[in-house]
Structures are given as C-alpha cells and as structure tokens.
Structure 1
Amino acid sequence: MTMDETARTAARHLLLPTPDEMGRIDAAAARHVPVALLMENAGRAVARAIRRHMRPCRVLVLCGPGNNGGDGYVTARRLAEEGWPVSVAEMAPPHPGGDAAAAAALWQGPVVAFTPENAARFDLVVDAVFGAGLSRNIAPDVADVLKAAPRLVAIDMPTGVDGATGAVRGYAPQVEMTVTFCRLKPGHLLLPGHTLCGRTVLADIGIGEDAVASVPIRTWHNAPGLWRTPACGPTSYKYSRGVVSICGGREMPGAARLSAAGARAAGAGLVRLAA
C-alpha cells in the first residue's frame, strides 16, 4: 500500500456520518447483508463490551420499538446466555413483521413494566430506547425511567442526544459507556453529547466499506490521520510545503499566535500572522 493509499484509508475511517447518512449506509449494506444479521452482530458487540468492562450483575434492557430496540433484545439474549440475570422492559412493542420484532420473539426471559421503579431495582440498565436518529424531545415518562437507572450503558447513542449535533433533546442521561457501530457520529464528539456518552466503543458489525463509500459524507473527525505534511525532497521549498495565513484580533491575539506556532511546528513552509 502506498503512502497516498494509506492516507486515504485513514481518512475513510475518520468519516462522521450523520444519522440520515448512516441510515443510507445501512440500507446499502442491507443489499448484501441481511438486517437481521447486522442486528445480531450489533447486540453481540454490545454484550461483549459490557462483559469486558463490567462485572456480572442484574441487568434491565430498555427496548424501544425500532431497530435500536431490536439491538437491545439481542443484547439481552446474549448476556443471558452467558449467565447474567437479565430482564427486558418495552417502552413500546416492535413494529409487527420487522427485524426488531423477530429479535424480540427470540427473547424468552422476563419482561417487566417500563417504569422508574423497575429501572431503580436493577444494577445496570441498557438504554436501547432510541438511537442516534432522535429528532424530537423525549417524553417525560421516558426521561423519568432513565433518571431512575443507577448505571447506564447506551446502544448507539444515549437516548435524548441528537446524533447529528450532540444537542440534548429535552433530557439525556449520563451513561458510563456507549457502544456504536461502523463509524462514530457527530453527536459522539460534539458537546454536550460527547461527555454524556462516557466511554465510547466503536464496533464492526459487518457493514462493508463499499456501503460506506456509496454515501457522500462531508464531515470528518479532525484527527492526525486526516492530515499529512508533504515530504521534503531535494527540490522542496517553502511554497511546496503549504502556506498558512492566520487572521487574529487586535485585543486578544493569543489564539492566533498559538495557531501560528502550531502551523510552524507541523512543518508549514510559510506562516503569515495578521493581527
């Protein structure tokens, strides 16, 4: 693999799809991998992350009616198969005939009411109510259940965090860990969502890179893999290594000076500071 190919591969893994873009990626992936299999892989990944980072305890999985809830049913089944005491609370039943309904049908363990009292009785609560695509404020009764949980793990995104902006939709809980899939979303990195997500685990569930490449994504995680300083050669000169121009304010030029120092240290050929 050449340096350019390595850089492109690194940049692809720093893509931050919005929930709408991730939905189109999921649809593209489903043409090759059944949604039921992706859901199974997602639930398995969440259960694996919980087992890796937490001790066995009594677990309640809160399931919404969509595919996020379907991931929750799989998580519950996988943890129960490992001997964890698990119950499920449905905010609403899955849509009939969908993949989440099929996942719910495989759950043979206890089902309890979706209430704050039940959430408070368990040691750990898994939030599979809504995923990253939430675009409205959550209902007060859902917020009350989440507030009652002593410890929380979120699937995809804590309920109430807007996956596109990181904003809180009415209420969002502080969780200990968030397990998401394929790529991080902007809401995992933007405040206040970033702090509410706790430890963020990114899991591969079998969505191919061709599905990701089929959707134009315009947001990236600003990390070292996204940027590469041109290598110096015998004919290199300052203009071949990039020119950085920074405009700063009259009264408080500190940020501009720091930016200039960073650009110079990174290897820019010429740095211009106007303040």
Structure 2
Amino acid sequence: MRPVITPEESARLDAAATLPVDVLMERAGYAVARWAATLGVGYGSRIVVLAGRGNNGGDGYVAARHLRRRGAEVVVRALGAPKRPAARRAAALAEAAGVRIEPLGVPDGEWELLVDAAFGVGFRGGLPPELVPWTELGGPVLAVDVPSGLDAATGEVVDAAFSAELTVTFHALKTGHLLGEGPDRSGRVEVVDIGLDGERPEFLLCEEADAPRPTRPRTAHKWSAGSVLVVGGSPGMVGAPVLVADAALRAGAGAVAIACPEGLQPIYETMRPGLLTVAVAPGDRFGADAGSVLGRASRYDVLVVGPGLGTVAREFVVRLLSGWPGPVVVDADALNA
C-alpha cells in the first residue's frame, strides 16, 4: 500500500531531512526534467517554467537547467526573486547554463510544455491575479509536487488552478492529490524518492497488487470460487443489478445471481444469459419478501442489497440485513430505505 501524507507531514519530513536542501532540490528538479522528457520534449523543444519564490520554484530552476542541457529552449517566468538561499543558487546555476529568466508577465508566444513550479504543498487560498491567465491556456502542463492553486491537503480550489497532464511529487502522494478536485487537476501522478524517510501517513492507498485475486485450482468450479447474490431491480432501474453482477464476475466470483421480482426475471434472462436469476417476489417490485430472499440466499457467500431497488419498505431491508449472517455490500437504495 502506498502512503499518503498531509502537507504538514511533508514539511516535517523536509525539516527532519539529514541531506542538504541543495541536494534534495537537485534530485527533485532532475526528476522533473526526466519526467518532462517522457512527455516528448527534448532537443529544440520550447518550454516555459513558472517559478515561484520558494523551494518549489527552486525545483523549477533545477529542472530548467537540466532541460536546457538536453537542448531545449527554456525560459523561466519568475513570480519574483527567490527568497530561499538554495532557490537563489538554483536560479544562478540555471542562468549560467543558458536559461533565460524573465518576469512572469502575461502569456505570450508558443511552447510545447509548461512546467508549473509556482507554488508547492504549503499553498493555501487563491492564486495571485497575475498568475490566473496562465491557468487558462490549453497546452500540456507538468506540475511540480502539486498543481498551483490546488490545496494539497483538501484538494479544494478557491478560484483558479492549473490542470496538469502529469504531476511529479516527492516522497509520497499528498492527500490533495486524491481528494476534491485533486484527481482531475493532478492528472497522472508520479512519486519520486529524493531521500526522505520516516513518514507518518494520513492514510494508505490500496492498489491492485495489495489485493491479488487468488489462482484457481484446476478442480475449481463456480460454487467453489465464491458466489454473490445481488438483490435489487425495479421498473426503470433494471440495469443497476446487472452492472453489479457483471462487476462481481469480472472480479473473479464464480457464480453470480440476481434476486428480483418475478416480473423482471425475463428481462434479466434476456440481458445477460450468463447470469443466474432468482425470482423471489410477485409483480415487479419487492414487498414483504425478505424471508423468501433469505431462503434463496443461503447458498451464496456474499449478499449485495440495493442496486436499483427503488422505493421499498424499511422493514424489508432491516429484516434482510439482520437475517443475513455473511458479508454484505449495501448500496444507496438500501441505505435510504
């Protein structure tokens, strides 16, 4: 599982680092330049780097220097002179390498990539007005650590923010990459190790590798591979149980059935011949049929209640859930009953 940290934890890691700030900045900026190359920029490419006054801007200066050494035409548009000593040294090295450094100004000219190194994970509030027009351009954006304008803790955007094709962040994902507008604004997020350790995660992100599907033995059959009964469906919402049942099959369940009112059973048999159907109630809606459902559910390992269930009596859902002894997944219509 991947650790996800808050901006405060990121600041704590930076403060506790045993490596010099210049080393961390060099590693971060070099990683940004390498990932920029994966977007197709290189010799002769026109690149603009928006550099803030803090260490995030310092990472941008380092990236600009390495991209210039690849033969790219790089200009840094700076929000002001760097405030931190390491960022000032990075800016001087970039200029010595042939990178043009200019005031932010207004967007002009054409470029193949915009590197957003304006603000880092400590940013809160709204962007400076002079930076907003840069967020409205349509070209590809690579964000350094987090897209500027995005709250790295909550994923919120006050007024404007960059929308990146790729975000290169350091040490660990930040909560804002995954919350609020973060997933839409961050694009693909690549995590780079720059030599920090000892994080205290806010939470852990479970990935496919953390929950592998077991290999089926040669003698397995549909009832030994896990079975799921989906209770749902009503007029106008017959598709919801089918989507859930299909997902269960794709996830590896061996036998999946839809428990539905009798009036809907022919529809499901026509829609998905590979799914089992169990008629448990007369008509086209569930009523006082929890006992019938529980009787037919005893053969199954997992119960899903709610997809497309529609308006049903609370007693039906309560009796169904209280009488089921195994794992259960409860969908919205069952929660709202």
Alignment size in residue pairs = 241
Alpha-carbon offset, residue 164 of structure 1: 1.1
Q: Tell me which of 34, 44, 55 is aligned to 1:67.
A: 55
Instruction: Pick closer, same or farther for the CA change 1:103–1:55 going to 2, 3 Å.
Output: closer
TM-score computed with the length of structure 1 as normaliser: 0.74
Does the alignment pair 1:271 with 2:327? yes
Q: Is the 8 A contact 2:107 2:133 kept in 1?
A: no
Q: Is the 8 A contact 1:115 1:145 kept in 2?
A: no
In structure 2, what residue type is equivalent to 1:99? A
Does the alignment pair 1:204 with 2:197? no
> 3-state SS of the aligned residue for 2:114?
strand
Q: Is the 8 A contact 1:180 1:200 kept in 2?
A: yes
Does the alignment pair 1:157 with 2:157? no
In structure 1, distance between residues paired with 2:193 and 2:80: 28
Q: Structure 2: which 5+ runs fail to align?
A: 214-236, 254-300, 303-324
- Residue number in structure 1 paired with 2:74: 86
Instruction: Map 1:5-20 onto structure 2 (within 5 A).
Output: 11=1, 14-20=2-8
Does the alignment pair 1:219 with 2:207? no
C-alpha RMSD of the superposition: 3.5
Does the alignment pair 1:100 with 2:87? yes
Q: Tell me which of 138, 142, 151 is aligned to 2:127.
A: 138
Q: Is the 8 A contact 1:17 1:186 kept in 2?
A: yes
Task: Say which structure is richer in helix.
Answer: 1
Task: Say which structure is richer in strand.
Answer: 2
Alpha-carbon offset, residue 227 of structure 1: 6.1
- Residue number in structure 1 paired with 2:12: 24
Q: Tell me which of 77, 90, 93 is aligned to 2:65.
A: 77
- Residue number in structure 2 paired with 1:183: 172
Q: Is the 8 A contact 1:72 1:155 kept in 2?
A: yes
In structure 2, distance between residues paired with 1:264 and 1:124: 42
Instruction: Name segments (4+ residues, structure 1) moved above 4 Å.
Output: 224-229, 261-265, 272-275
> 3-state SS of the aligned residue for 2:189?
strand
Q: Tell me which of 101, 106, 120 is aligned to 1:111.
A: 101
How much identity, in percent, do the aligned residues show?
37
- Residue number in structure 1 paired with 2:306: none
Alpha-carbon offset, residue 200 of structure 1: 1.7
Higher CA-based Rg = 2
Alpha-carbon offset, residue 134 of structure 1: 1.4
Alpha-carbon offset, residue 226 of structure 1: 5.7
Q: Structure 1: which 5+ runs fail to align?
A: 1-10, 230-251
- Residue number in structure 2 paired with 1:239: none
Alpha-carbon offset, residue 139 of structure 1: 1.8
Alpha-carbon offset, residue 147 of structure 1: 2.1
TM-score computed with the length of structure 2 as normaliser: 0.61
What's the CA shift string for 1:229-255, capped at 9, x where partnerless? 9xxxxxxxxxxxxxxxxxxxxxx9x79
